Copies of this chain bind each other. A is one copy, B any other.
Amino acid sequence: MKITASKQELMKSLGIVMRAVPSRTTMNILYCILVDATVDTIHFTANDMELGIETAVNGSIQERGSICLDAKIFSEIIRKMPDDDVTIETGNDFQTMISCEKSVFRIVGKDTTEFSPLPSIDRKEPVILTQFQLREMIRQTIFSISPNDANKILTGEYMQIRDNEIRLVGLDGHRIAIRRVLMDKAYENREVIIPGKTMNEIGKILTGEMDDEVKLFFTKNHMLFEMEQTTVVSRLIDGVYFRVDQMLSNDFETKISVRKNAISSAVDRALLFTSEADKRPLVLTIEKDSMNLRIASPVGSMSDDVDIDMEGKELKIGFNPKFILDALRVIDDEDILIYFLNSKAPCFIRDEEQSYIYMVLPVNFV
Contacts and interface: CB of A to CB of B under 8 A. Distances in A.
Given A82-B265, A265-B82, A302 B105 contact: yes
B107 A300 contact: yes
A272 B73 contact: yes
A62 interface: no
A305 B77 CA distance: 16
Interface string A14-31: 000000000000000000
A305 B100 CA distance: 11
Contacts of A268: 80
B300 A104 contact: no
Given A77-B272, A272-B73, A266 B103 contact: yes
B300 A73 contact: yes
A93 interface: no
A304 interface: yes
Interface string A28-70: 0000000000000000000000000000000000000000000
A216 interface: no
A243 to B, nearest CB: 39
Interface of A: 73, 76-77, 80-82, 102-108, 265-266, 268-269, 272, 299-306
Q: Would you list the 7 A-B pairs with minimal beta carbon distance, nearest first?
A: A107-B300, A102-B305, A80-B269, A103-B304, A104-B303, A106-B301, A105-B302
Given A77-B269, A105-B272, 11 more contacts: A80-B265, A80-B268, A81-B269, A82-B265, A102-B306, A103-B303, A103-B304, A104-B302, A104-B304, A105-B300, A105-B301
